[in-house]
């Protein structure tokens, strides 16, 4: 639907495969819209549609088999399909050389990793035997997966998600256009959260932070970028809290980079309540040099060093989160310092080009 982290990853992977003489077949559940398709278009790229791949239905299995045969695939890399299923054995039967699976799964709030029951370990190890490697996008994700013991620990590889730094360039004109588009005056400070509008992303906590911050600084506008099934409910909640003039809902944006979301932001929040496996939007904000206030959950502490590249707060601690946002709004030098440190960390640890290169190494290419 949009040009986000997954799409930039797919494009960069295709670029680096092409440099090594490989072709890349990108499978989507539905045909991507024209702007996304154009973004992914490269000489070595073909787009395919694989309907309902998470259901492991006979139709999806048959269609994947046809794709693997058509392109005589050497490598199958699964994303967003579910960890346990028939696809690895299908690839084995069709002589696909290697099968990879990337674990993008965030865990429920207060999730405690534990070893799976013996029967489950035994069964899943047989089902997933053909998987060459599981790619974990954070140490947190790798620890959770290894603790289950559904595959030998040596089959898990850490390759962080990354940000396409070639697309990161500050542009005041984009910031001005973003303000104009959403009717935000120039004298307003902007606090942004980019996420699906669902309870797990801490939207209720963010609204409470907005209430506390706007009471101290009425010149602050909170902007929630994204959409989801709870948007209408949360919009009503914001209205009932008297925040209609302090909260802007943009809906889904096709390309947050190109549409000025991070250019316009003074502070970025990610107040997730579940255990985020990574936090792609945090890395994006850091790449733009924006200070981030986020919850200390899942893999987020691997991105943010508290007090150095941003601020971490406990899940549900809206009072501290509001204090941290106010501090960053009041102290521009501190905000700049944290933003610069975050940008540097993104360049050294979450650089998409470098991390995709690491994945190519794991492929054995």
Per residue in 315-357, pLDDT tens?
Answer: 999 999 999 999 999 999 999 999 999 999 999 999 999 999 9
With tokens 């996008």, the residue in question is 137
At 178 the pLDDT is 98
Whether residue 17 is predicted with pLDDT greater than 80 in this model: the reply is yes
Q: Does the CA dihedral 331-333-334-339 come out positive or negative?
A: positive
Structure tokens at 118: 């013996």
pLDDT in tens, 33-46: 999 999 999 999 99
Cβ 99 vs Cβ 131: under 8 Å = yes
Report the length, in residues, of the chain.
365
With tokens 């070893």, the residue in question is 115
Query: Which regions of the chain does DSSP assign to beta strands (E)?
Result: 24-28, 45-49, 75-79, 98-103, 133-136, 156-158, 189-194, 220-225, 247-251, 267-270, 292-295, 311-313
Where in the sequence of the chain do the CATH 3.40.50.2000 domains occur?
Answer: 5-162+351-363, 166-349
CB atoms within 10 A of CB 28: 19
Helix (H, G, I), strand (E, B) or coil at 7: helix
How far does the chain reach from its first CA to its final CA, in angstroms?
30
Confidence of residue 151 (pLDDT cuts 50, 70, 90): very high
Q: Does the CA dihedral 322-325-328-329 come out positive or negative?
A: negative
C-alpha 217/C-alpha 339 separation (Å) is 21
- The mean per-residue pLDDT over the stretch 85-108 comes to 96
Angle in degrees, CA 205, 219, 305, rounded to 5: 50
CB neighbour list of residue 21: distance below 8 Å, 6 or more residues apart: none
Whether residue 312 is predicted with pLDDT greater than 90 in this model: the reply is yes
- Give me the long-range contacts of 4-8 (CB less than 8 A, separation at least 24): 4/256, 4/280, 5/161, 5/163, 5/280, 5/284, 6/79, 7/36, 7/39, 7/40, 8/163, 8/164, 8/167, 8/352
User: Taking Cα atoms as reference points, which of 267, 265, 236 lies closest to residue 253?
Assistant: 265
CATH 3.40.50.300 applies to domain 5-162+351-363 = no
CATH of domain 166-349: 3.40.50.2000
- The mean per-residue pLDDT over the stretch 20-30 comes to 97
User: Taking Cα atoms as reference points, which of 176, 127, 183, 181 lies closest to residue 151?
Assistant: 127
At 210 the pLDDT is 98
Whether residue 57 is predicted with pLDDT greater than 90 in this model: the reply is no
Confidence of residue 98 (pLDDT cuts 50, 70, 90): very high
pTM exceeding the 0.85 threshold for the entire prediction = yes
- 342: alpha, beta or left? (left if phi > 0; alpha if psi -120 to 50): alpha
Distance from chain centroid for Cα 92:
30
Distance from chain centroid for Cα 165:
15
């Amino acid at each position: 639907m949009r040009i986000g982290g997954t799409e930039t990853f797919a494009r960069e992977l295709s670029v680096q495969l092409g440099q090594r003489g490989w072709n890349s077949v990108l499978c989507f559940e539905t045909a991507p819209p024209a702007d996304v398709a154009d973004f992914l278009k490269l000489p070595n790229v073909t787009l395919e549609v694989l309907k309902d791949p998470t259901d492991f239905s006979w139709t999806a299995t048959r269609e994947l088999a046809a794709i693997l045969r058509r392109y005589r695939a050497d490598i199958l890399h699964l994303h967003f399909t579910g960890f346990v299923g028939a696809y690895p054995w299908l690839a084995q039967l069709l002589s696909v050389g290697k099968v990879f699976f990337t674990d993008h799964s965030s865990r429920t709030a207060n999730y405690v990793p534990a070893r799976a029951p013996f029967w489950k370990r035994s069964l899943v190890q047989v089902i997933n035997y053909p998987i060459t490697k599981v790619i974990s996008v954070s140490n947190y994700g790798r620890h959770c997966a290894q603790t289950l013991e559904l595959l030998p620990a040596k089959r898990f590889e850490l390759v962080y998600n990354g940000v396409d730094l070639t697309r990161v360039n500050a542009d005041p004109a984009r910031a001005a256009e973003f303000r104009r588009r959403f009717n935000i005056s120039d004298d307003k400070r902007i606090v942004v959260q980019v996420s699906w509008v669902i309870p797990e992303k801490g939207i209720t906590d963010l609204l409470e932070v907005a209430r506390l911050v706007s009471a101290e600084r009425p010149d602050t506008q909170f902007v929630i970028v994204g959409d989801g099934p709870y948007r209408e409910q949360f919009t009503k909640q914001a209205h009932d809290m008297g925040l209609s003039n302090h909260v802007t809902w943009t809906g889904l944006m096709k390309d947050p980079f190109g549409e000025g979301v991070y250019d316009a932001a003074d502070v970025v929040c990610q107040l997730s309540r579940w255990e985020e496996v990574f936090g792609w939007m945090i890395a994006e904000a850091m790449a733009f040099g924006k200070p981030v206030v986020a919850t200390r959950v899942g893999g987020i502490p691997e991105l943010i060093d508290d007090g150095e590249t941003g601020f971490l707060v406990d899940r549900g601690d809206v009072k501290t989160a509001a204090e941290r946002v106010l501090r960053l709004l009041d102290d521009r030098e501190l905000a700049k310092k944290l933003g610069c440190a975050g940008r540097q960390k993104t360049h050294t640890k979450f650089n998409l080009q470098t991390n995709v290169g690491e994945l190519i190494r794991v492929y054995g290419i």
